[in-house]
Amino acid sequence: MKYVVSFCEDDLEIIDLCTFTPSEDIMQSGAIPGTNLNVTRQEGHIEFTLTENIAPGTCWSGELTTIRFRSKTGNTTYIGFVEERK
């Protein structure tokens, strides 16, 4: 599964893609060290994929990540989130 976060880069700056890790993760693409997440960033979009499979007939619940943003403008903005199934 892929999870996609969308936002306006004119309004928000990414500070950390995964606050669960001790360092600030701001890479453009690749594995987030110490997690089961791969990330790909494009303008206004962050795509997360899990590196482990969920067994058929089971479900998973919990947090994937916590993303830290910083406002560039102080204006109200929109952050979208969708799950894309393969």
| Reported confidence tier of residue 56, pLDDT bands at 50, 70, 90 | confident
pLDDT of residue 86: 65
The pTM score is 0.87
Span 29-55, mean pLDDT?
Answer: 93
C-alpha–C-alpha distance, residues 34 and 19, integer Å: 11
Domain ranges of the chain: 2-84
H/E segment holding residue 46: strand 45-50
C-alpha–C-alpha distance, residues 82 and 5, integer Å: 7
